[in-house]
Amino acid sequence: MNAEQVTPDFEEFEKVIRGERQPSRVHLVELGVDPEVMRFVTENVFREKWISLADDTAQDFWRQRVGFYARMGYDFVPCGGGFRNLPKFKERIAADTAELSRGQRHWVEEGGGIIKNREDLDRIEWEAIVPDFQPLEQMRKALADGMKLVVVATVYEMILERFLGYEDLFMFSVENPELVEAVFERWGRKVYEYYRQALEYPEVGAIFHADDLGFKTATMMSPDFLRKNVFPWFRKYAALAHERGRTYWYHCCGNVLNVMEELIDDVGIDAFHSFQDVIIPVARFADRYGGRVAALGGVDMDRLARLPEPALREYVRGILTECMPGRFALGSGNTVANYIPVQNYLAVVDEARRWGR
């Protein structure tokens, strides 16, 4: 990887997102980099000791996290929307077989969640559930000049995976739609409050909302369901960001092309993230929607995981040729997961730094 340090410039990055200027370089974007990858890079590329929360103070741990993103050339650090006093959810545990294994991988229980009826909904101590800003407080103190934080939370996925579960959400959407609406109302407000408080921090530069609505060929729920239960919250979050002078980025896996026009024109997203070539390659998306919304990421996860490095570099250069300059930032099609070969991740970053030279 090209060792030359990149100076963070969130101000330029934001203008690129808005379509107000052409990028002076290839900006990088990730919804997240798995801690196992960050540790490997810290120890084997930066040649520094990895600090875990168990080893040292929280301040040193979060400073290290910010330092990773700064040294890799990002203009921002993603900050997940944690909450305190959440109820205990169902989950399954399996062995993590990735090369950079974390030992165990936790999976959601897809059949049903913790809410089966109105009594279950009311039993949850909703007032006790509050945002946890400790990570944000720690990371904002460590930001390099020119960097910002972007805050991440979910509304649909939390309900789909935790509160109701896949099967129950699908069934209740027909058999008990009032319960579904009530759950979205309760959790949607919690997410709104998280974003509202987070945007009070001047170090927060954008909302990077994350909700996977689709699978390979379509949305999981009908567009009418999304219009009734999901998009009204998206509009509130986007309006909140815009009222505070920030941008609203949207991460979504799966095929949501049948509602993309609504996401752009009705919800008001400023950027769309998560691309799978089998659905729509990022260059085709940029060609179709680039005048109206920024395209973020684009390196297909299957290619990122399996291509030999020379072929991956050629693939990435192809993306840059078609998308640069424009309302675009380069990164994985999803996240830098711990099953991605680290040399492939580093190759993507390196191609970004080499572009135009």
Q: By the 8 A CB rule, do 73 and 6 touch?
A: yes
Q: What are the structural domain ranges in the chain?
A: 10-354
Average the pLDDT over each of 51-65, 173-187, 238-252 and give the range with the smallest value. Answer: 51-65
Please give the full DSSP string across 171-189, using - where no structure is assigned.
HHHHH-HHHHHHHHHHHHH
Q: What is the pLDDT of residue 1?
A: 59
Q: What is the pLDDT of residue 284?
A: 98
Average the pLDDT over each of 60-64, 105-109, 345-349 and give the range with the smallest value. Answer: 105-109
| Residues 164-172, mean pLDDT to the nearest whole number | 97
Residue 148's SS3 state is: strand
What is the H or E stretch that residue 94 is in?
strand 91-95
Residue 295's SS3 state is: strand
Q: pLDDT per residue over 200-224, tens digit each?
A: 999 999 999 999 999 999 999 999 9
Select from 90, 33, 273, 251 the least CA-distant residue to 156: 251
| Residues 232-260, mean pLDDT to the nearest whole number | 98
Between these two residues, 98 and 159, which has the higher pLDDT value?
Answer: 159
Which band of pLDDT confidence, cut at 50, 70 and 90, is reported for residue 192?
A: very high
Q: What is the mean pLDDT of the chain?
A: 95
Model confidence at 90: pLDDT above 90: no
Q: By the 8 A CB rule, do 223 and 259 touch?
A: yes
Which band of pLDDT confidence, cut at 50, 70 and 90, is reported for residue 110?
A: confident
Q: What is the pLDDT of residue 186?
A: 98
CB crowding 174-208: b at 16 or more within 10 Å, else e: eeeeebbeebbebbbebbbebbeebbebebbbbbb
From CA 355, how far away is CA 322, in angstroms rounded?
12
Which band of pLDDT confidence, cut at 50, 70 and 90, is reported for residue 78?
A: very high
Q: pLDDT per residue over 271-280, tens digit each?
A: 999 999 999 9
Q: What is the pLDDT of residue 56?
A: 61
Which band of pLDDT confidence, cut at 50, 70 and 90, is reported for residue 81?
A: confident
From CA 72, how far away is CA 26, in angstroms rounded?
13
How many alpha carbons lie under 13 Å from residue 38 in its C-beta half-sphere?
21
pTM: 0.95
Question: What CATH architecture does domain 10-354 belong to?
Answer: Alpha-Beta Barrel (3.20)
